[in-house]
Structure 1
Amino acid sequence: MHTPGFLSKVLGLFFFSFLACGAKANDVWIDVNTIDHTLTVMQGDKIQDVFENIAIGRFGTTWHKVTKDDKTPLGDFRIGWINEKSQYYRFFGLDYPDRETARRALEENRIDQDTWLTILKATNQERTPPQNTVLGGYIGIHGIGRGDPEVHDQFHWTNGCIALTNEQIDLLGKWLKPGVMVKIR
């Protein structure tokens, strides 16, 4: 049961987020195809680069990610931050959990109203949402660091992230900056 005033807060935050989501036709965005195991750099509707043999979460993908399920969340995210000194070589963090993920979780009673509003407020202010909710966090695109390239070639091995080789991350890095859209399907 929602508290009084909850709906007006939600509608106000939703309207603001709707206005803030516009993208330009020539913007760079990333298409992650978890079935073909490819990551494609797009600029508008033109392919700029394709990276093959990406790794995803060891237990596949999901629309309903939770902490420690080792699944890659499906949806539309944005690059929120970059860690150049990650144990995985480079880490391009996503704004996960996003509005849509949080909305589904609220409807399914997996998170409470306060958690949902905290996520919504962060995303509306283009800040990184809380990374320590039951929905998980620290999802991103990264290299393999000092990991075994053969394991990367043969298995999906991440805890929910998208992994490429370190060499691929170097090439991809020129396209990625905070705000770039990443569609995981």
Structure 2
Amino acid sequence: MIPVNRRRFLAMALSLPAVASAAVNVPSLAGGADLVETMLARAPVPRHSNELWVLVDDQEAALSVFRGNALVERFVPVSLGRSGAKTQRIRGDNVTPLGEFRINRFNYESQWRTFMSIDYPTPPHARMALEKGIYSQADYDDYFDYYRRHGYPPQNTALGGAIGIHGLGSADPDIHGRYHWTQGCVAVTNAQIDRLAELVGVGTRVVIR
């Protein structure tokens, strides 16, 4: 059972401008359901007809930029975590987290040419971690306390952090074209990250499924 104050903050966090464009009704975890998977079922839909948003498809190894339902640009192949993509990620497991995110920072001096940080772990990821025993109640409370103070999630919990979309920098393009090689991020070529940086900005919604 989610305490009333936590439930209220969870809805609030998901409705912040840096997190979502509109309030989201968070489903319960009755029966041990995968909360992120439940929310992903409705995530690949534009919030409005003119929304610019990004879809990363694990099965197709593709990153697509949409304006509403219209495809603007598509980048293939992209590389994800070397251990695959899952709704539940643990620090150091090299998994790309599935879910619905927002770009919250750009680093143009990254070793990966440009790094677009996303707001992982989200409140639904934190809730799942509590349900699965990855977070203690104290960890869960600390997560929301940090989020409330800073406006973005902590990056040093058991769920890890520093997840984003980035270029290759000096990495081998041949390996990129053949394998998933990242520690959990979404990687595109240097030319593609330059183009993507022209299209998106802080607050752009990113769906990884």
Instruction: Flag the 1:155–1:15 CA change in 2: closer, same or farther, 3 A.
Output: closer
Instruction: Flag the 1:43–1:149 CA change in 2: closer, same or farther, 3 A.
Output: same
Identify the residue that residue 6 of structure 2 maps to in structure 1.
10
2:86 is equivalent to residue 90 of structure 1? no
Whether the 8 Å CA contact 1:98–1:123 is kept in 2: the answer is: no
- Distance, in Å, in 1 between the alignment partners of 2:157 and 2:149 is 18
Whether the 8 Å CA contact 1:94–1:139 is kept in 2: the answer is: yes
2:70 is equivalent to residue 46 of structure 1? yes
Whether the 8 Å CA contact 2:97–2:184 is kept in 1: the answer is: yes
- Distance, in Å, in 2 between the alignment partners of 1:16 and 1:78 is 15
Equivalent of 1:171, from 195, 201, 205?
195
- What amino acid maps onto 1:17 in structure 2? A
- Distance, in Å, in 2 between the alignment partners of 1:67 and 1:18 is 23
Unpaired segments of 5 or more residues in structure 1? Answer: none
Instruction: Flag the 1:148–1:133 CA change in 2: closer, same or farther, 3 A.
Output: same
RMSD over aligned CA atoms reads 2.0
Identify the residue that residue 183 of structure 2 maps to in structure 1.
159
95-104 or 7-16: which moved more? 7-16
- What amino acid maps onto 2:157 in structure 1? T
Q: Spell out the pairing of 1:55-66 with structure 2 (5 A cutoff).
A: 55-66=79-90
Whether the 8 Å CA contact 2:53–2:65 is kept in 1: the answer is: yes
- Distance, in Å, in 2 between the alignment partners of 1:175 and 1:139 is 19
- Distance, in Å, in 1 between the alignment partners of 2:140 and 2:108 is 30
Equivalent of 1:75, from 81, 87, 99?
99
Runs of 4+ in 1 over 6 A off after TM superposition: none
Deviations 1:61-94 (A, max 9, x none): 1111001101101000110111100011100001
- What amino acid maps onto 2:87 in structure 1? W
Whether the 8 Å CA contact 1:84–1:90 is kept in 2: the answer is: yes
Whether the 8 Å CA contact 1:80–1:127 is kept in 2: the answer is: no
- Distance, in Å, in 1 between the alignment partners of 2:165 and 2:140 is 24
Whether the 8 Å CA contact 2:147–2:154 is kept in 1: the answer is: no
Unpaired segments of 5 or more residues in structure 2? Answer: 23-46
